[in-house]
Amino acid sequence: MVDMKEIKSVGPASFTLMSSSIQAVLVFIFAVICAVAFGTASTFVPELSNVAGVIAALGVAIIVILPISSFLINVMISFISIILYNGLAPRIGGIKLGFDGNEIKSIPAVPFALIMACIAMIWAFIIGVLLAAALIPLTGVIGTSLSSATGVSMANLGAVGIFGALFLIIGLPIIVFIAGFIVHALAAVFYNLLIPRVGGVQLELAVADNGNRIESIPVLPASLAISVVFTVFGLIIGLISLIMFSARGNVAGGFLSLVYNIVGYFLTYFILVALITVFYNLLAPKLGGIRLRLD
């Protein structure tokens, strides 16, 4: 029997600490791979031997700088996103999850898509305001410079800047909301259709102060469930590519793109989710895990 629960709120500190730490570990692994690749290239490519020291220094810098910068940036993004979620959930409803034991059997599409799209829209508005604040004076400076250099009035350039700013502040958030709602709704629908066949994400929950704590996330069920859902998106993108390639007479290229998208999406998300869950399970006992309030 499915027990429907709503995520009323998420602990900002716990979510920010866990997500930022996992992000930093993933970026550290990526940085190490890049450093090894740089070192290997300098060894096997004679033309790079003269700058091997520079490449080595660059590799060390990447290993140090990328994880730290990723952690700090993700702290800001995660914290603001969860504050937005906690502020919106009482007003428009939070994410609902249908549990059967510790397994998430279903995710109602509309509540999930609505709150995720609203958060994305607010982020788009914030980014749009910042870009607009830079765009208007930039177009004014460019217009003045061009007018001085050519002797031709560039007043229209200022109008372009104003219209561009209005699009960034109004149009961009609307587009992001619509696209975000559709994508998240489809993801929930695909999850609900496929989970009875492959099994759903499992959450090992423990009672914590005023709510619950995610103690661990079994790796294989989460990796399989999420990767299968995103493989459907890969299938859709692959079919679109197949149609486009076929329209140009390259049917073989279209089928190759179809296979590449299906296999690529599955492997990418399976590996990524596996890494995230592994590191979550390793870090949760030390950092406390993510706290949330389910009702």
Q: pLDDT tens, 99-144?
A: 998 999 999 999 999 999 999 999 999 999 999 888 877 776 665 6
Average pLDDT over residues 255-283: 95
Q: How far, CA to CA in Å, does 12 sit from each of 23, 67, 95, 257, 258?
A: 16, 21, 16, 41, 40
The angle formed by the CA atoms of residues 228, 192 and 100, to the nearest 5 degrees, is 105
Beta-sheet pairing, 103-106 with 3-10: unpaired
Residue 202: which pLDDT band, with cuts at 50, 70 and 90?
Answer: very high
Cα–Cα nearest to 181, from 122, 243, 112, 134? 112
For residue 155, what pLDDT is reported?
55
> What's the mean pLDDT when you consider all of the chain?
87
Give the sign of the dihedral formed by CA 194, CA 196, CA 200, CA 206. positive
The pair of three-digit structure tokens given for residue 271, joined into one six-digit string: 């590996």
pLDDT of residue 36: 78
What are the residues whose beta carbons fall under 8 Å from the beta carbon of 174, sequence distance 6 or more?
121
Nearest-angstrom CA–CA distance, 293 and 243: 46
| The pLDDT value given to residue 37 | 75
Work out the end-to-end distance of the chain between its first and last CA atoms, rounded to an integer number of angstroms.
17
Q: How large is the average pLDDT for residues 172-181?
A: 97
